[in-house]
Each structure stands twice: as structure tokens, then as C-alpha cells.
Structure 1
């Protein structure tokens, strides 16, 4: 029987080309291609932006120091040990398909990083899981392929997954309570084709660069400035609404920076609400944001998916 693991993911390191002119004002926020209303598939949303074969790279980071972690020693083939090479992650294929019962079947195939093509890859493990696509189970999806997954009631022992999509590339972040010691997992992925149950490995054809560094960066480059925001917020109380606004980010402390312009943060506001936020700077001018908010009674209250563009 295959082992099971969480549907984890992330995308760091990809710098996507800027499409269109730079904004000189915040009066007009352009809506990105294929960015539409957030609704779970149980409400009629197609899964065309979630299903398929996603090629990429997986890296883990220490929950204590934030440092990039090498893979466990027992995964490393003798040839790699002889070269005294440190291996900081896996090449991977994430295969996603809708199954009966409003669920996703997710298969993660890990392979040792290769210098050649598919024949050189060493496949140490395959993980499979079936995920419920229900808001009652803590899943809130958006038609562009972004989603937030976690417990419907906040618990410090939980793990959350945020998937931030931009076109056919995405970042998936699997993160625990940020005040704890568990590791964070980051996936950088690109859509490669229709679902084929992981029959192909990325090999020399991989389109995603491997993640380098520990994520140290100047916060002002990533977060500060004036941004034009466009997106949607799902609220448990009244469904979804469209959001369009101008925000200005100043100096702020962020819990965790990861490579590739990815941040993870946790804020408790004056009303006792807990906000879990991830962001991904896909370029100097554009970032994707996911926010998951729990009420003062620690019940899931709302989830937002935004695209911010620098003014």
C-alpha cells in the first residue's frame, strides 16, 4: 500500500514576465487572466485549473532557524555520498484528479535531483491522498486554482496548506503553527499536461528552477509600497464578494521569509481574530496573496485570494 502524506506544495524562484504597462496610479487595477470568483467545486466550479500533472521541486525549512534542510540521509544513494554532495530537496511530480464524492486524488512522486533525463532519476517514494473539497472540511477553492486548506476550527497543532496560482505556475506552502518547531514545506510547480497518474518524471525537461538560499531578504523590496488590490473574499456568513482597493504596506515584521519571494505570517488583531497570510511575489510588480481568517471563537470565518500590483 502506498504511504500517505499531506497535499503539500509551493512555488519559489520563478520570475514571471510582466504583462502590460506599469501602473502610474492606483485608480485602475487590472484583473489578471483567468482570475475569477472563488467557489468550491461542489458549487459548480470546474477543476480545469487544478487537475493535471504539475512538475516542480520540493524543499523543507527548519521551524526553528528557518534554514533550508537537507533530505534525510537514508534517501541519499551511495553515488551522491561518494561525491559528498548535499541534497536540499526533491524533484517531484504532483498528479491531481477529481474523483467521486467531491474529492481530489493527489499523488506526489518524489525523485532524486538529476543531471540527465528520466532514466537517471531515483524514485524513493510515492505518496497518495484523497482530499475533500468541502468548506465544512476547511477547504476553500478559487477558480484560478488557488486554494486554502486547513481545520475549520483553529488548533495550534494543525497544519495548513496554501496554494497560490499565477497562470500555469503555482506555489504550494504546507506550514504548521509558526510559533512551533515543525518544518515548513515549499513546492515550486508548473503545469505540464493532462492527468496521467505520474507516468512521466520531469527529468531534463523540468521547467522549474530548484530553490536556493534560506529566504533572507530585505522586506522593503517585497512588501513595502502602494499596491492596487483585486480579488475575492469568501465569507462563511454570506458567500463571496469582489474586492478592489488600494493598500499601502509599510515596515512590518513577517514571521517567515522563504526563497522565491514567499512569505508566511500570523497576526492576531484587536478583536482576537487569527489571520494566517501567505504571499508570493511573482515579479517586482505583482504578488499573489492568500488570507485565512478565524473568528474570536476560533471558527473559520473567511478566506481571501488577491492579486496585488504596484502602483
Structure 2
């Protein structure tokens, strides 16, 4: 038996259709990661069931073709906005030291970073790299001359690999599990979910749950949300989207309604199985039947952009090592 935690991030559209991505991590030693714990996580985004194709599970060439398509869809310059949220769903203000004096004089609170995420996946091999770049806030339309505040480079695959598990779909969606270097006494993990909007493949959301393992407890520390638009082919962040960005700051906008999340949901799912995969931390999501979920308001954290998050303890349970993605639509009462 092993302790587990169930963590969910989600989004809903007006027709109450959901796309969900979930995964589970194994106990110590079952994957090529010496410090893995068991998690169950899910990630949801607005979409319509007819818009998404679950990948085919035909042999090696199909897998290679799927990765090549994924590489095409995920690579490029992704510009947008990012914000941190507390475990209550409240946006966290940017440090006062980075906010222009004009905002402080006007008593304007700033919650959003303007961001870049140049991403490059190699079509011929399972290697991907990207950078989370935060830009210092500017006043007015000065973003084209913005200064970089921080750069966080992430490497997936190859000799510089830092990821513990990675599951992908040809659409450009993926889930990554990152161990966080921490000088404290507790393990810290980042569970990252990237979801491409199937109706607009130049629009995506990345959600990161920061989870601390405190003894036998899995504690959600904070949530990061990035809303991004594809700005052009990969150029390693050399060019800013600036005022041409097709999105806007979102952290202080209205949160999702609980009534849009609770209820019974069902849909088709695809699965990536890590069990017995040895050192192969890359897995493709493949069609695997139907999924039914029942959600209530318990532990629900409501976020802007039709997103939500929850973390629930699941004690005395043995979990398999898999990732699944599913499209869910609400089930009418009495049906």
C-alpha cells in the first residue's frame, strides 16, 4: 500500500465540455527517478469533443510520426502573460521592486508578468527545450523594449534531461513532472500541464502545480498559470511579441463559478503507461476507452480563465504509473 494525492486542474467552456489530462507517478525506484513519490494529477481545458483526435496505437512508425507532429505543434515563440495564485485562488502581486513607479503612484496593483516561452522539440528524437522568461512590467505600450527579469531553462530528454516523467499528444499537449532543487527538508515537485486549444492551435494554457511532500502529506504550495499565443517559428526568444500579443493580463479577472465544475462528467480517454518502461520517461498518449468522473466542491480552488484546481488525499492506495487524457461532457441528471 502507498499514500497518494489526487490533484486536478480544470477549465470549462460555455457548453460545459472539458478536456482532462491526468497522470500518476510511482513509488521510489519504479521510474528512472530516485526521488519519485506517488501523485495523481489532472489538467482540464475548454474544448469540444469533436475537435480532438485520440492518437492511434499502431507500431513504431506511428509513434515516430506522432512525436514529429507534436514537435511541429509545440515548437515556436509563445508569448503571453503569467501569474501566480495562492492555494485559495487569490492572485499574488508582483514584487514591489519590479513595478514601475507610475503604477505605485496611481495605486494600481500588478499581478501579471508579460512572458516569453521559446520552445523547440526535435522531430527526429525525444528531445525538447524551452525557456520561461519573465519581462519587467512596463507602462503603456513599451513592451517591445521590455527588459528580461528572469530566465528559467527546461531540458527534456538528451544528456541535459531534468524531467522525471513526460507524456505527450501529437496536438502539442503534454504533461511534465519536475523535481525542484530545494535546500529545505521536504521534497518539492512541479506538475506542469500544457494544453493546446484544438479550435485555435496558436493558443494554449500552461498550468503548474507546486507540491511539497511533507512526511506523508502532499501539500499544494501555489499555482502558476501561463496563457500564451504562438507568435512565430522558434527564434530562441530573440524577438518580443510586444504590443502585438493577442491576449491580456488575466490574474485579477473573474474566477470560474463552482456550478460550472461540479457534477458528473464522461468522455473518451487516452493513456500513456510508464509501468515497466525502465529508463524511458517519454510516453505517448493512446486511445483507451471511456472515463467517468464525479466532482463536487470539496477542496475546489477557483481560478480565472475558466480554470480550477483541487488537491485531495488518497491514503492507503496503490497507484499504477500512467498518464491519461480525456474529453469530458456533463451528464444530465436522470440520464
Question: Common fold, TM-score beyond 0.5?
Answer: yes
Contact 1:55 1:191 in 2 (8 A): yes
SS state at 1:180 partner: strand
- Indicate yes or no: 2:273 matched with 1:235: yes
CA distance in 2, matches of 1:250, 1:160: 21
**CA offset at residue 43 of structure 1?**
4.8
* Residue matched to 2:31: none
Structure 2 CA distance for partners of 1:252 and 1:195, relative to 1, 3 Å: same
Could you tell me which runs of 5 or more consecutive residues in structure 2 were left unpaired when the two chains were aligned. Answer: 1-8, 18-47, 180-185, 213-217, 277-282
CA distance in 2, matches of 1:157, 1:129: 16
The correspondence for 2:149, drawn from 124, 136, 157, is 124
* Residue matched to 1:89: 112
Contact 2:173 2:194 in 1 (8 A): yes
Deviations along 1:11-54, one digit per CA (max 9) or x if unpaired, are 999979999xxxxxxxxx94425653599999521111111111
Contact 1:13 1:211 in 2 (8 A): no
Contact 2:132 2:153 in 1 (8 A): yes
**CA offset at residue 246 of structure 1?**
6.3
CA distance in 2, matches of 1:265, 1:139: 21
**CA offset at residue 271 of structure 1?**
5.9
* Residue matched to 1:288: none
CA distance in 1, matches of 2:141, 2:57: 40
* Residue matched to 1:172: 206
SS state at 1:150 partner: strand
Contact 2:269 2:291 in 1 (8 A): no
Could you tell me which runs of 5 or more consecutive residues in structure 1 were left unpaired when the two chains were aligned. Answer: 1-10, 20-28, 274-293, 296-300
Contact 1:37 1:232 in 2 (8 A): no
**CA offset at residue 202 of structure 1?**
2.2
- Indicate yes or no: 2:36 matched with 1:36: no
The correspondence for 2:102, drawn from 79, 85, 108, is 79
SS state at 1:49 partner: helix
After TM superposition, what 4+ stretches of structure 1 lie above 6 angstroms from structure 2?
A: 11-19, 38-42, 133-136
* Residue matched to 1:98: 121
* Residue matched to 1:68: 91
How many residue pairs get aligned? The number is: 263
Contact 1:49 1:143 in 2 (8 A): yes
CA distance in 2, matches of 1:254, 1:110: 30
CA distance in 2, matches of 1:125, 1:306: 34
Name the structure with the higher strand share: 2
CA distance in 2, matches of 1:38, 1:215: 40
**CA offset at residue 143 of structure 1?**
1.2
Normalised by the length of structure 2, the TM-score is: 0.64
Normalised by the length of structure 1, the TM-score is: 0.69
**CA offset at residue 96 of structure 1?**
0.4
- Indicate yes or no: 2:305 matched with 1:260: yes
- Indicate yes or no: 2:272 matched with 1:245: no
* Residue matched to 1:138: 165
Deviations along 1:176-214, one digit per CA (max 9) or x if unpaired, are 227536322110112222111112222221112321437
Deviations along 1:250-298, one digit per CA (max 9) or x if unpaired, are 534244222112222334557614xxxxxxxxxxxxxxxxxxxx44xxx
SS state at 1:144 partner: coil
CA RMSD, aligned part only?
4.0
